[in-house]
Amino acid sequence: MDLAYNPCLICPAGPLRETGKMTSAVIAQRVFPCSRTGALLLAVAAAALTAVAAQIVIPLPFTPVPITGQTFAVLFTGAALGWKLGAAGQLLYVAVGAFGAPVFTEASGGVEVIRGATGGYLIGFIFAAGLVGWLAEHRQDRAFLTMVAAFLMGSAVIYLFGVVGLMTATGWGLGEAVAKGVTPFIVGDLIKAVIAGVILPGSWRLLGES
């Protein structure tokens, strides 16, 4: 018996029945066995990947928000793991960083980062990963256009929390917060969405599902 098809509460989602055969809800469930240990390791891996991606930094002189690899890691792991484990991985990442581990951008950590100009984005990671994971569980990761759309929706959630955090931390108005906290990142996030739109549907096809 293939354990990857066994439903359990800690897995991203149970199996779906389609055209007389079993198909997994998200890519992680298709590849990895469903177990408590496996779920824990996947959540830790998502947090670790985000921490590594946070060290890929391109500072921008006109805003306290740098370009990083975090958002791709956040949304990609959400899509790969499903909403429960995707959100759990980001919650773990934010919690570990808040306790002082140097996992945030430029090896920073501590509650002051959460309270700072980029704290809103960090909180948004949790909800964005959950949203993209939920969309993936509903088969939005099987085709290029739907995967791109899911990634962009996740990015919009991060932007929303990020703008609110910027306004709170800096006193900027909405227009300035959007100009410095959203506009510079749109092109990069479009590129990330396209990359995900190629990788995840392509992975499903390699596994014989679509």
Question: Is the pTM value of this prediction over 0.85?
Answer: yes
CATH architecture designation of domain 41-206: Orthogonal Bundle (1.10)
CA distance 159 to 148: 16
Buried b (16+ CB within 10 A) or exposed e, 40-71: eebbebbbbbbbebbeeeeeeeebebbbbbbb
Between strands 21-23 and 16-18, the pairing is: antiparallel
> What residues contact residue 172 under an 8 Å CB cut-off, 6+ apart?
166, 180
Which pLDDT score is estimated for 24? 64
Residue 138, classified by CB atoms within 10 Å of its CB into exposed (0-12), middle (13-18) or buried (19+), is: middle
- The pLDDT averaged over each successive group of 10 residues in the chain (210 residues) is 41 46 73 86 97 97 96 97 97 98 97 97 98 96 97 98 97 98 97 96 89
The residue count for the chain? 210
Q: Which tokens in the block code for residue 164?
A: 């609110």
Exposure of 60 in the CB half-sphere (CA atoms within 13 A) = 14
Distances in whole angstroms, Cα of residue 91 to Cα of each of 18, 76, 78, 81, 206? 33, 15, 12, 14, 31
